[in-house]
């Protein structure tokens, strides 16, 4: 390809004009680092996100329903807005980090008309149907909408290990990806605004099952005088080792073939029955283990005992 040549009769001022026009035409790479952002909601998470944006050099405007939560942020360089109307008066995407679905509507409904043509990134935890409802509400008001599920606690924001799952407008995600990466690793799952939330809650289900399992085991061991810290020393490596089996569980589930089990439901029944007996003998409530026993018993009663334990997903789905 021939090297483009600058016409020799161009003067310095013409060149300056040419380069500034070029910059106007290619704003994405450089301007994203100066993208102003508004954060609505300064709870523990909103403050962490806003601080990461300020540290990342984004001109950041913050608002909270109850005054007095912005001192650290203002000291760090954020601009504080007294009203939502003032906050959204600043350019750039608007990040909502509020308590729940209802609080997003309570905050944004009164200013919906002013948001026309703007971009909303909702990082409030909402159920998938609530995220879809918000996406439809946003579309009706000509607002770009991206939904996010935060897989982190506030202290993890801006640190390795934090991630935020996104779905909704791909254009919005692409345009602001660099800014979103200041908060946490950013992954996009598709245009269905409910998808990020579905992933979020699926992962949280996994987490709650793990933690409640730990609590149940800690209660069992406490009956013999063993402290939770001693149990934790065993639970972490055991849990880590068992987690390695998850991809194989997934392979079996996705194949839909449960007829060649590593360990069938019939194998798991005596183990879970023994856990129930041991728990009862230790005086530990059965709230955590009874649902597992019921799932196994029901499938065995239906004649599925020889099938893989992974078949349980069919019972649940
Ligand atoms: N904190 C965490 O570890 C989790 C991690 C995973 C994701 N969650 C979700 O993030 C959303 C915000 O969580 P947060 O930790 O900031 O929550 P709070 O500290 O409780 O702050 C709640 C903010 O919401 C404001 N708010 C509540 N109701 C209303 C309303 N009706 N109108 C306007 N704002 C409202 C509240 O304002 P104020 O009480 O200070 O006036 C806080 O700013 C959340 O969805 C988590 O599930 C965090």
| In the chain, domain spans | 31-191, 200-316
Reply yes or no on whether the pLDDT at 48 is more than 80. yes
- pLDDT number for residue 13: 47
- Comparing 14 with 182, the larger pLDDT belongs to 182
In 3D, which of 58, 12, 308 has the Cα closest to residue 178?
Answer: 58
> For ligand 1, atom 3, which residue shows the shortest CA distance?
153
What is the 111 CA–ligand 1 centroid distance (Å)?
20
Cα 169 to chain centroid, rounded: 16
Write down the pLDDT at residue 33: 81
Distance 182 CA to ligand 1 centre (A): 20
The 10s digit of each residue's pLDDT in 22-40 is: 334 344 444 578 899 999 9
Task: Output the CATH code of domain 31-191.
Answer: 3.40.50.720
d(CA 139, CA 145): 8
User: What's the CA-to-centroid distance between 156 and ligand 1, angstroms?
Assistant: 16
Q: What distance in Å separates the CA atoms of residue 107 and residue 98, rounded to the nearest whole number?
A: 9
- Residue 166 pLDDT: 98
Residue whose Cα lies nearest atom 17 of ligand 1: it is 43
Report the candidate in 39, 74, 86 with the shortest Cα–Cα distance to residue 182.
39
17: pLDDT strictly greater than 80: no
CA–CA distance, 231 with 224 (Å, rounded to integer): 12
d(CA 169, CA 119) in angstroms, rounded, equals: 10
Report the predicted TM-score, pTM, of the whole model to 2 decimal places.
0.87
Q: What CATH code would you report for 200-316?
A: 1.10.1040.10
For 258-300, the pLDDT digits (tens) are 999 999 999 999 999 999 999 999 999 999 999 999 999 999 9
pLDDT at residue 9 is higher than 70? no
Whether 31-191 shares its CATH topology with 200-316 is answered: no
Distance between CA atoms of 185 and 292, rounded to whole angstroms? 34
> Cβ < 6 Å from ligand 1: which residues?
41-46, 64-66, 69, 97-100, 103, 106-107, 124-125, 150, 153-154
């Amino acid at each position: 390809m021939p090297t483009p040549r600058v016409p020799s009769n161009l003067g310095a001022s013409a060149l300056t004009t040419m380069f500034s026009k070029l910059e106007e035409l290619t704003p994405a790479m450089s301007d994203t680092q100066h993208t102003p952002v508004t954060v609505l909601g300064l709870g523990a998470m909103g403050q962490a996100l806003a601080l990461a944006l300020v540290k990342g050099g984004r001109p950041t405007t913050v608002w909270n329903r109850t005054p007095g939560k912005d001192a650290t942020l203002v000291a760090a360089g954020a601009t504080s807005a007294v009203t939502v109307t003032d906050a959204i008066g600043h350019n750039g995407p608007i990040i909502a980090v509020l308590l729940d679905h209802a609080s997003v509507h309570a905050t944004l409904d009164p200013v919906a008309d002013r948001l026309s043509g703007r971009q909303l990134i909702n990082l409030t935890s909402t159920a998938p149907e609530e995220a879809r409802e918000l996406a439809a509400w946003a579309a009706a008001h000509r607002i770009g909408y991206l939904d996010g599920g935060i897989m982190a606690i506030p202290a993890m924001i801006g640190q390795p290990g934090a991630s935020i799952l996104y779905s909704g407008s791909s254009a919005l995600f692409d345009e602001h990806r660099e800014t979103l990466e200041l908060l946490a690793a950013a992954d996009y799952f598709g245009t269905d605004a409910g998808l990020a939330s579905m992933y979020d809650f699926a992962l949280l289900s996994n987490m709650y099952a793990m933690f409640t399992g730990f609590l149940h085991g800690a209660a069992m061991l406490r009956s013999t005088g063993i402290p939770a810290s001693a149990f934790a020393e065993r639970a972490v490596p055991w849990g880590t080792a068992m987690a390695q089996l998850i991809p194989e569980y997934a392979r079996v589930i996705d194949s839909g073939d449960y007829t060649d089990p590593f360990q069938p439901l019939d194998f798991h029944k005596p183990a879970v029955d023994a856990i129930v007996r041991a728990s009862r003998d230790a005086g530990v409530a059965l709230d955590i283990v009874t649902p597992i026993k019921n799932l196994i018993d029901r499938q065995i009663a239906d004649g599925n005992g020889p099938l893989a334990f992974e078949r349980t997903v069919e019972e649940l789905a």
